Structures are given as C-alpha cells and as structure tokens.
C-alpha cells in the first residue's frame, strides 16, 4: 500500500512548529459565502471596507483561485497558560489581548507557511498559494471543514482538544488530498461567551456585529468611538479576549511552546501613565515586531485615554491633561473625555471655559460640551 502523502506534510508542519495540520476539500460548495454576504449586507463590517471590495473573491476558495482543490489548514497554539481576565482588575494598567503580547503572528506564521507550501509544491508538482489573514480567504469555515475545531457561538474557531487560543493559516493546493473528517458543533446550550461580552456584540448566537466589538474598535476603527462603548472598554487598549477566555472548553487548553508568541513582560499590565506619555518614536520602539505597531501611536493613545477615563485614578489627570494640545483631534477629544470622567465637575467646567473657545475642531468641541454621541 502506498504511504499516505499527508504524513510527510504533517510531520514537516510539526517540525516547523505548527500544532495542527489538517486537510479539507477547497472545491466543495459551502454556505459560508452567503453568510459573509449577509454580514457585509447588514453593515456589520463597519469601516473594514476591504470586506466589501473583496466580497466576491472571499465567497469561496475557488472564486479566488479556480484551481484550488485542497486546503491544508495549519494551527498555532498561542495559549497563555492561565486565565488573563483577572489582570483587568488593575484599572491603572492597560490590557493588551493575549494574541498581541508577543511577535506579530503574521510574521511568525508566514515564513513557515511558505516553507511548507514549497515542500508541498515540490512533492506534488502542483501549484500552491499561502494565506494568513492577509488575503481574502475565510479561514475559520475552512478550519472547521478540516476538523481543526468548530466556530463557536462567539464565531471563533475552538477545539475540543485545545480550547480557544489558536492562530490559523491556510495553504491552498491544486493537488487532491484525502480530506480529514469535518468537526461538528459542541457548544450545546452554553451561552457563556455571549453573556460576558461587554458591548453585546452578538446579535444572535454564531453572529458578530463587528461595529460593537472592542477588538474592532480598539484596532480597526480610526475615529472617536461612539460614547456608549467607551465605558465598556474598561482597561482594554488593544483587542479583547473576554469571549475566548470564558469558554469552558479552555480546560483543554495548554500553554504555547512557541517562543515568539510568548508575552513580553512590558506588554502585560503596562502602566497607563507610561503609555499616555509615548511619543511616536517611543511607541515604535515599545511595539517593535508587535501587531500593536500596526495601528499607529495616535489610535493607540486614544485607546489609552479611554482606559484612563475608566480608571477612577485621579493620579492620571496630569497624563490626560498633557495630551490636550496634541495635533490629532482624535487624541485631544479622548483626553477631554477622560478628564470629564476623572475631574470634579467644577474643575472640569473651569478647564472647559479656558479651552473651548480656542478649539477649532468640531469633534473636539463636542467632547467639551458633552454633545459627542
């Protein structure tokens, strides 16, 4: 009997540091494309306009690459080895989500995917294409089809044997491989992730409205946030882990062995006062090789100011005041909001009297007058 050609690929994936490597058909039809169209049609993608422009290509692997026959789905465990949510009890510190505490996972995974893809191409003589979140491919439904896990009610892919902390990457191959069995859904009657969400971002189980998700707001959304979400963010300054961290299937999660995704000490409970004082150069240095760098200093400092506004720590008033003269209106506006929460009413009114007349930007004026929505 001929050896299973998948074994070589699995062994090589494991040697490259991947924790999971499974195979799925890339050509069979699915309903994920229609669900994506529903998501975008309802406007749930918010300002992520690339989701609109790539909608047709994202509908199915073969609409992007007609020759695709097999999806080789890779998973990399980034489990922290503990429940990170209690860290948020320290309101004078910021919370950076677990996935962003080490090196950018795109950089960690991409090179390895390319190496593996090269081996697959050499072995099969067929073309390959590599994906890690950077091109329009729906990775979670492919991972479910390959049996890596299932999309839970929070819409992330989780696994019976590994819990919720898994990065995904995909290689499409024009070669046919025998598919692994797909995974079924094992959420049952549980609604823990839906109930914990601080912004009620789930319009229904298995559906997310990204516009309400703190991960979207802290990372993808550039402007001043709608006021209703600012208090809910608490100390979350980059991403959000709540719906992942509370899932009971995490009892099977294990700590990641991958050195490049291990948390850097400086990115666990960093002091808000220090973060508010970062200029562009210091921001870039602190977040070198981290995904946080991608959002830029101004958006990050905006997030820090919302967290300062939620801190209840009057010792942070000086840090927020120091940002009232920033060039970016989004930073000035967030500083005003933070001060409105931390200063007593009389002192804030006096500051407003001093500052409002000199403020030229309408969005920042609205923060001073309390008219911001």
Angle at 196 between CA 191 and CA 201, to 5 degrees: 90
- Rounded to a whole number of angstroms, the minimum distance from the CB of residue 255 to ligand B12 is 16
Which DSSP helix (H) or strand (E) runs through 23? strand 20-25
**Which of ligand B12, ligand SF4, none sits in contact with 35, Cβ below 5 to 8 A by type?**
ligand B12
DSSP 207: B
Q: Where are the alpha helices (DSSP H) in the chain?
A: 5-15, 32-41, 50-53, 55-58, 61-64, 105-124, 139-145, 192-196, 214-215, 227-230, 242-245, 272-276, 280-286, 296-311, 317-321, 329-342, 345-355, 362-369
- Rounded to a whole number of angstroms, the minimum distance from the CB of residue 327 to ligand B12 is 27
206 scored as a contact of ligand B12 (CB under 6 A):
yes
Question: In the window 28-57, what residues touch ligand SF4 (CB under 6 A)?
Answer: none
Number of residues that bind ligand B12 (CB under 6 A): 35
Q: What is the DSSP string of 253-269?
A: ------GGGSPPGGGSS
User: Which lies closer to ligand B12 via its Cβ, residue 18 or residue 99?
Assistant: 99
Whether 133 is a known active-site residue: answer yes
β-pair partners for 129: 172
β-pair partners for 71: 24, 172
User: Which lies closer to ligand SF4 via its Cβ, residue 218 or residue 311?
Assistant: 218
Question: In the window 190-219, what residues touch ligand SF4 (CB under 6 A)?
Answer: 190-193, 197-199, 201, 208, 213-215
Question: In the window 163-192, what residues touch ligand SF4 (CB under 6 A)?
Answer: 187, 190-192
Helix, strand or coil, per DSSP, at residue 358? helix
Considering only 36, 240, 276, 307, the residue that binds ligand SF4 (CB under 6 A) is: 240
Q: Which of 4, 19, 90, 133 is catalytic?
A: 133
Best CA proximity match to 306, nearest among 232, 373, 371: 232
**Which of ligand B12, ligand SF4, none sits in contact with 17, Cβ below 5 to 8 A by type?**
none
Number of H helices, E strands in the chain: 18, 8
**Which of ligand B12, ligand SF4, none sits in contact with 310, Cβ below 5 to 8 A by type?**
none
138 scored as a contact of ligand SF4 (CB under 6 A):
no
143 scored as a contact of ligand SF4 (CB under 6 A):
no
Angle at 362 between CA 356 and CA 364, to 5 degrees: 55
Considering only 154, 212, 297, 332, the residue that binds ligand B12 (CB under 6 A) is: 154
- Rounded to a whole number of angstroms, the minimum distance from the CB of residue 263 to ligand SF4 is 18
Considering only 70, 151, 235, 311, the residue that binds ligand B12 (CB under 6 A) is: 151
239 scored as a contact of ligand B12 (CB under 6 A):
yes
Q: Mark the segment that binds ligand SF4 (CB under 6 A) among 70-78, 127-135, 236-244, 300-308.
A: 236-244
What is the rounded distance in angstroms from the CA atom of residue 185 to the CA atom of residue 260? Answer: 31
Which residues are designated catalytic? 133
């Amino acid at each position: 009997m001929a050896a299973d050609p998948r074994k070589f690929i699995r062994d090589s994936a494991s040697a490259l540091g991947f924790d999971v490597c499974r195979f799925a058909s890339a050509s069979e039809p699915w309903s994920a494309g229609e669900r994506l169209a529903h998501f975008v049609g309802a406007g749930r993608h918010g300002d992520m306009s690339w989701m609109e422009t790539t909608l047709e290509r994202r509908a199915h692997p073969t609409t992007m690459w007609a020759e695709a026959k097999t999806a080789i789905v890779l998973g990399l465990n980034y489990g922290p080895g503990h429940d990170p949510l209690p860290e948020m009890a320290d309101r004078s510190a910021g919370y950076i989500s677990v996935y962003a505490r080490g090196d950018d996972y795109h950089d960690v995974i991409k090179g390895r995917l390319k190496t593996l893809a090269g081996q697959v191409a050499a072995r099969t003589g067929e073309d390959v294409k590599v994906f890690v979140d950077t091109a329009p491919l729906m990775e979670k439904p492919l991972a479910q089809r390959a049996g890596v896990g299932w999309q839970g009610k929070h819409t992330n892919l989780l696994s019976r044997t590994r819990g919720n902390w898994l990065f995904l990457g995909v290689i499409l191959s024009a070669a046919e491989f025998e598919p692994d069995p797909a995974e079924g859904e094992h959420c049952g009657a549980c609604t823990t992730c839906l109930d914990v969400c601080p912004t009620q971002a789930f319009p229904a189980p298995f559906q997310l409205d990204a516009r309400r998700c703190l991960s979207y707001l802290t990372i993808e959304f550039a402007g001043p946030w709608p006021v209703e979400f600012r208090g809910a963010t608490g100390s979350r300054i980059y991403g959000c882990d709540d719906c992942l961290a509370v899932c009971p299937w995490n009892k099977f999660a294990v700590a990641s062995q991958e050195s490049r995704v291990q948390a850097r000490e400086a990115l666990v409970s960093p002091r808000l006062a220090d973060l508010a004082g970062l200029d562009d150069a210091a921001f870039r240095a602190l977040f070198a090789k981290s995904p946080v760098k991608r959002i830029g200093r101004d958006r990050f400092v905006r997030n820090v100011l919302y967290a300062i506004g939620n801190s209840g720590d009057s010792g942070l008033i000086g840090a927020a005041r120091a940002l009232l003269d920033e060039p970016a209106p989004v930073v000035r506006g967030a500083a005003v909001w933070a001060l409105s929460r931390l200063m007593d009413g009389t002192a804030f009114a006096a500051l407003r009297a001093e500052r409002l007349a000199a403020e030229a930007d309408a969005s920042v004026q609205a923060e001073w007058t309390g008219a911001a929505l």
